Amino acid sequence: MKNKKITIKDVAKQSGVSIATVSQILNGNEQKFSPKTVEKVLAAKAALNYEPDYFARRMVMKKSKTIGVLVPDITNPFFSTLVRGIEGVLYRENFVTMLCNADLDTKKETDYLEELSRRGVDGYIIASSAISNQAINDSLRKKNLPYIVLDQKKAEGYSDAVLTDDLSGGKLAGEHLNQLGHQKVAVVLPENATENIQTRLTGFQKIYPNAVLVHAELSKDGGRQAAKEIVKADVTAIFAINDELAFGLYLGLADVEKRIPQDYSVIGYDNIDMCEYVTPQLTTIAQPIYELGQTTANLLLERVEQPEKNWEEKTLPVQLIKRFSTARLK
């Protein structure tokens, strides 16, 4: 025989107050009642081992206390650090993070967007550019659901956004190689690059307008394969558009017995943790990844509480981190 499920009615009976009072106190409105009443309700809840019904609570509060976070590739350390920043803020504010990893699959991203909507999350953090503006419009904007885009996708005046200064980042990478005397350089990037990556390239081309472009998948394996094209080009330095590509270049260049930085200087982008654990340590453009996640979560929670406030777009700075994968051209 199954044990009888404890209900809010049982808590009200044991504490000697109304069901409405119990509901108010357990939903965070204890300031409306005397400390003695709050103590009685909490004591009854503990004695009965009562757990509020999630769906019933959501109907009362009109909130799920969950935020959907959509990322393109959780295996990329950039996104795992980003999600840590997001989750830390949401946890502090008693929100649950519902993470969706889309595996760089456009259909999967759109399906997740629809599913999160059906589950009634309170807001959405979209860290992927592959979702079309049409899908966002159909799934979120038309329903007036709070969402925020970051890093890879522009808000286009229809949502809050948190970005990093990719134009300056690309330019910093170019200036660093130029100061080391490199005249012939290559950039490794995806063929159909996201808008933020295109912006990095634009910044870099302000210094090197004729840089050789080598296209590769945005992964370590992509970088390894790109090394085969690099050695055919007349270049002395390489700008990997993210650190994952740079790590792949390390292995790919070693495959063909080329050394970093003796044969090629390599600079990456992101400053993920592994930059300090490869040999030589990777020179890179650092994004404030954890702060990017925190800022995004805080901005979205403000939007959830104040849905009518003006749209905000924040841009965080980047900086050059000099290590040992770049060297002066001899």
Cβ distance 316 to 288 under 8 Å? yes
- Do the domains spanning 8-61 and 66-164+289-316 agree at the CATH topology level? no
Alpha-carbon span 31 to 83, nearest angstrom: 33
Considering the segment(s) 166-287 as one domain, its CATH architecture is 3-Layer(aba) Sandwich (3.40)
pTM of the model: 0.81
Instruction: Kindly state the percentage of the chain with pLDDT values over 90.
Output: 55
| Confidence at 1, pLDDT banded by 50, 70, 90 | very low
Show Cβ contacts of residue 56 under 8 Å, excluding neighbours closer than 6 positions: none
Residues in the chain: 330
Considering the segment(s) 8-61 as one domain, its CATH architecture is Orthogonal Bundle (1.10)
What are the extents of the domains in the chain?
A: 8-61, 66-164+289-316, 166-287
Alpha-carbon span 133 to 232, nearest angstrom: 39
The mean pLDDT of 233-240, rounded to a whole number, is 97
Considering the segment(s) 66-164+289-316 as one domain, its CATH architecture is 3-Layer(aba) Sandwich (3.40)
The mean pLDDT of 234-245, rounded to a whole number, is 97
Alpha-carbon span 73 to 128, nearest angstrom: 9
Task: Give the model's pLDDT for residue 150.
Answer: 79
Residue 231 has pLDDT above 50, yes or no: yes
Give the range among 95-104, 236-245, 273-282 with minimum mean pLDDT: 95-104
- One-letter amino acid of 51: E
Burial (CB count <10 Å: 0-12, 13-18, 19+), residue 302: middle
